[in-house]
Amino acid sequence: MYFQDGIEYSYNLSFTLNNVICIGWLSKDYSFNRGEVSTNVKDKLLKTIQLKSCNKMRGVHKCEFCNSEIQIALNEKRQILGHAEIWIPSGHKNIIYASPTLIYHYIDKYNYLPPNDFIESLMEFDINSDWNGDDIILDLVKSVQSVSPAS
């Protein structure tokens, strides 16, 4: 599933969520920013995926670049990527960044370079906080549906 970096989130919805911004929804059919991402950022991203994954799906999205299901080792366990997301609150703006868990693979194997504010927000994010992406998603979807006219 491809979404351009910076557009409002609408994955699996018939509407967009204001102030929820897509980052890292890559496809082989579209170019993307490339560059070096530090090991500290990669490590924090892995911990965030492990502890704060949300919006889990039943199926697994394969990497379009290598046409494979991606598994990584985390604390002697295997973690599947491509079946969930991470939602990170921005430390500088009133927005939330929504990314597929495959973002780690894209950074690690294909040198994807996310926007600076995403990286800064990730590094400032307290993974031990009570932040729960699933609760945030549910609240945002309910708030949009409550103001939408009935069909």
β-bridge pairing 85-89 and 70-74: unpaired
Arithmetic mean of pLDDT, 15-32 = 96
Q: Is the pLDDT of residue 151 over 60?
A: no
- Beta strands of the chain (E only): which ranges? 8-9, 17-22, 70-74, 77-81, 85-89, 96-100
Tokens encoding 25: 């929804």
Q: Model confidence over 118-144: pLDDT tens digits?
A: 999 999 999 999 999 999 999 999 988
In sign, the C-alpha dihedral spanning 58, 65, 120, 41 is: positive
The domain limits of the chain are 8-136
